[in-house]
A = this chain, B = another copy of it.
Amino acid sequence: MKKVRIYVTYKESVFDPQGETITTAVKSLGFPQVKEINVGKFFDVTLLETADLDQTIAAISEKLLVNFNLETYHYQVLEEQK
């Protein structure tokens, strides 16, 4: 078994209202040292060992998990499991 974490975020050019709202809220809570907060989501995919892990992850991301109009992604293999 493998565990892969896929990170998805808005592209640079896309306005993220949530990030902005959170940044404002955090600052006004008394954390002026905070400059910016960006929000993203991640998917922890547990899957059977495959030879073509990279392709599989790319395929899942591109087909379903990521909308390329708005988003971009990268991933990281988390840990080896039995």
Contact = CB atoms under 8 A, between A and B. Distances in A.
A47 B64 contact: no
Copies of this chain, count: 2
A69 to B, nearest CB: 19
Interface residues of A, number: 30
Interface string A36-59: 111111111111101000001001
B31 A59 contact: yes
Interface in A19-42: 22, 25-26, 29, 31, 33-42
Contact of A33 (B29, B36, B47): B47
Contacts of A48: 33, 35
Given A26-B60, A64-B22, A64-B25, A42 B39 contact: yes
